[in-house]
Structure 1
Amino acid sequence: MAMNLTVSGKQIDIGDALRGHVQRSLDAAVAKYFDGALDGTVTFSRHAHEIRSDISVHVGRNIMIQSHATASDPYVAFEAACDHAAKRLRRHKRRLRDHNVRPVREIEATLARQSVIAIEAEEPEETSGHDPLVIAEMQTNVQTLTVGEAVMRLDLGQLPALMFRNRANGLFNMVYRRPDGNIGWVDPQNGPASGASS
């Protein structure tokens, strides 16, 4: 069964031939590694002389895979982005399958507030210390995951960082993408002992 897929263009017309190619190719790529993807979006946008293809597919409960690529031709851009997505799915296939068969009751989440803060130009020192301007607030779920599951979601979603409640110790942890390409892990439980000299 084909997933519910939305294909759209920003400053570029998407014809029926490209739309059909995207649907067939993405359905086949995802079905190879994961049964029953829920929905997805593919967006083409023009950037100077290149076309960018952004793919976002909801492959399971709270599991999103994202990828993108640019090329001078929309078909080439899509194929490269689709290939990136398939490589990530292949790398995490076993974990995704294990996650998919886990009973829903084991997937826990903590409700949290997420805010978007405006980046302001540097201000004179006398005005520093004021609270930053919050331009949006929303609720989000911080999921209870193992470190491996958190790294998998960070990689699949091409996220810069992911906060989660560590299933092993119940504490809030964070994984993030380091500038050197590796993934960092922040675990308060393993921080310096209380009273240790800095």
Structure 2
Amino acid sequence: MSVRVSGKHMEIGDSFRQRIEEQIGEAVAKYFDGGYASQVIVEKSGSRFSADCKVHLDTGIVLHAAGEANDPQGSFDAAAERIEKRLRRYKRRLKDHHAGNHMNGHAEVAYTVMDRIPDEADELPEDFAPTIVAESSKQLKTMSVASAVMALDMTDEPVLLFRSPGKEELNIVYRRNDGNIGWIDSTNIKN
């Protein structure tokens, strides 16, 4: 149960550091019994402050939240409020899942069919070379679609790649522009 607090372009005072540690500790203890590790970075950029909080729970779930304000305490308060909200959702979903309140069998799924983009857009200049902006590697977890959606909801990541249990097929859940979550099941993809 460690909380690492650091500042970018600013110093973090002892009282603010203690307040951060206590607030994160209280929020996690309120909704979760296990251990955790947390990292909080408070950054000054111009006249604004931003706080970036990550909480790694022993269950393997990583919660991420950020907040902005005109002062460092306000930015952390906004981020801590989001972390607490995500912890509350996580606990509620675990409770619902264990109580058996999930739907069995098949469900109707809404889908949208879109027209193909005209071939003119397929033509790219010969010297076109996309730039790789970020590259990372993560270990793929085996989880159900419901667990993957919950994990995606707990983070600010736009996409989550995972393996389905039993079949070991790759699946993707992602945030759509309309606010809903999409799922790509690789077992349904035909070459």
Counterpart amino acid of residue 8 in structure 2: K
Which residue of structure 1 aligns with residue 117 of structure 2?
Answer: none
The SS at the match of 2:78 is helix
1:135-182 CA-to-partner distances (Å, cap 9, x unmatched) read: 887653111100111111111121110000112643211011111221
Which residue of structure 2 aligns with residue 127 of structure 1?
Answer: 127
CA–CA distance in structure 2, aligned partners of residues 158 and 133 of structure 1? 23
CA–CA distance in structure 2, aligned partners of residues 37 and 186 of structure 1? 33
Alpha carbons 1:5, 1:42 under 8 Å: kept: yes
Structure with more of its chain in strand, by fraction: 1
| TM superposition score normalised by structure 2 | 0.76
The alignment-based identity, stated in percent, is 41
Deviation above 4 Å: which 4+ runs of structure 1? 94-99, 132-139
Could you tell which deviates more after superposition, 83-92 or 181-190?
181-190
Which residue of structure 2 aligns with residue 29 of structure 1?
Answer: 27
Question: What residue ranges of structure 2 are gaps of 5+ in the alignment?
Answer: 98-123
Give the one of 58, 62, 65 matched to 1:64. Answer: 62
Counterpart amino acid of residue 151 in structure 1: V
Alpha carbons 1:38, 1:59 under 8 Å: kept: yes
Give the one of 160, 163, 166 matched to 1:162. Answer: 160
Counterpart amino acid of residue 127 in structure 1: D
Change (3 A) 1:68 1:135: closer
1:73-102 CA-to-partner distances (Å, cap 9, x unmatched) read: 111111111111111111111455799xxx
Change (3 A) 1:29 1:136: closer
Change (3 A) 1:59 1:97: farther
CA–CA distance in structure 2, aligned partners of residues 97 and 10 of structure 1? 38
Change (3 A) 1:58 1:48: same
Question: What residue ranges of structure 1 are gaps of 5+ in the alignment?
Answer: 100-123
Counterpart amino acid of residue 2 in structure 2: N
Do residues 47 (structure 1) and 49 (structure 2) align? no
CA–CA distance in structure 1, aligned partners of residues 177 and 155 of structure 2? 17
Aligned residues: 165
Which residue of structure 2 aligns with residue 20 of structure 1?
Answer: 18
